Structure 1
Amino acid sequence: MTTSAQESVLDVISGLLVEKFEVPSEEVRGSAPMRELLIDSLMIVEMAIAVHETFGIKVEEEELRTATLAEFAAVLDERLTDR
């Protein structure tokens, strides 16, 4: 998938968090640690799968545990740009 200028990687990831993982939208902000948004191991695995299905990019679970939402989106954006 390629994201348009209208829909950034951050927007797509935020949408997944709210729609697929039912994270309250008020908690979805760039500074939020992904490990707090995805509160258990299963959610982390499911997000890694969702990212792969959405963007065609494989991510490690550790990347989801250590980054904030904004940091994670920036990593994905960089990987998409490098293709």
Structure 2
Amino acid sequence: MTTSAQESVLDLISELLVEKFEVPSNEVQASARMRDLLTDSLMVVEMAIAVHEVLGIKVEEDELRGSTLGEFAEAVEARRTDR
């Protein structure tokens, strides 16, 4: 997985959901709740680790559980540009 400047954080996280976590692509929408996409606590932990590895951004498990995909991507993007 690459992190080209042209690829958005939303696209990268969506790609992780589909490729790593095998979430059906038709379910990966900005309005989808992350807790519905990541159906168990291990998936939440693994997503936090994957976001850190791919984007270099540390995220908390509560952030993943409490937001939509779009909200989560915006929060990660904000941290990414603050660096």
Residue identity over aligned pairs, in percent, reads: 70
Instruction: After TM superposition, give the deviation of residue 34 of structure 1 in Å.
Output: 0.2
What is the CA distance between 1:4 and its match in structure 2?
1.1
Pairwise CA distance, 1:3? 4.2
Cα distance in structure 1, aligned partners of 2:38 and 2:60: 14
TM-score for the superposition, normalised by structure 1? 0.95
- CA deviations 1:28-56 (Å, max 9, x no partner) are 00000000000000000000000000011
Q: 2:13: which partner in 1?
A: 13
Alignment of 1:1-83 (within 5 A): 3-5=4-6, 7-83=7-83
Unaligned 5+ runs, structure 1: none
Aligned-residue RMSD, C-alpha? 1.2
The one-letter code matched in structure 1 to 2:81 is T
Structure 1 segments (4+ residues) deviating >6 Å? none
The unaligned stretches of length 5 or more in structure 2 are: none
SS at the partner of 2:62? helix
Give the length in aligned residue pairs.
82
TM-score, structure 2 as length reference: 0.95
Distance verdict in 2 for CA 1:2–1:80, change over 3 Å: farther
